[in-house]
Structure 1
Amino acid sequence: MDRLRELRKEQGVARQDLADEMLISKRTLTRYESGERQPTLSMVFDLADYFNVSIDYLVGRSDVR
């Protein structure tokens, strides 16, 4: 999920801080960002809410936030 990494860096959120907020490990978040692992649907909802973007934007289906 390239957009996840972009949003995190754009907002200046450390990987560990976001992982703590989402109640996941830093390693899991790293795997989400690299595309090595896919988040659950509920995690996608949580991440979209956290960054205040649409789910379609987060997963790359739309360029409209």
Structure 2
Amino acid sequence: MQVYTRIRNLREDHDLTQVKVGAAVNVTQRAYSYYESGQRMIPPNVLCALADFYNVSVDYLLGRTDKKETNR
């Protein structure tokens, strides 16, 4: 699924570790690693927190659009 690839690419593009992103969205590194690898579904609250953290839309993370910008 595209969401897992997108969150990994965003993290790598920002030169961040899984620990730093996990802390920013209030999950452990292990939980974040499971989300990024597709071993666990990303809960809606974490998905929204990731979108806010990277300043992208949830639709972008889900692969519903290729436009990163939010409508804020």
Q: TM-score range by the shorter chain?
A: over 0.9
Query: What TM-score does the superposition give when structure 2 sets the normalisation length?
Result: 0.84
Is 1:21 the counterpart of 2:24? The answer is yes
Partner of 2:38: 35
Offset from partner CA, 1:1-59 (integer Å, 9 cap, x none): 11000000001111111111112111110111111111111111110000000101111
Q: Which runs of 5+ in 2 are unaligned?
A: none
Aligned-pair RMSD on alpha carbons?
Answer: 0.8
Is 1:60 the counterpart of 2:58? The answer is no
How far apart, CA to CA, are the structure 1 residues paired with 2:14 and 2:39?
Answer: 23
Native 8 Å contact 2:24 2:53 kept in 1: no
Q: Which runs of 5+ in 1 are unaligned?
A: none
How far apart, CA to CA, are the structure 2 residues paired with 1:64 and 1:10?
Answer: 16
How far apart, CA to CA, are the structure 1 residues paired with 2:20 and 2:48?
Answer: 18
Structure 1 segments, 4+ long, off by >2 Å, are none
Is 1:44 the counterpart of 2:47? The answer is yes
Q: How many pairs does the alignment contain?
A: 65
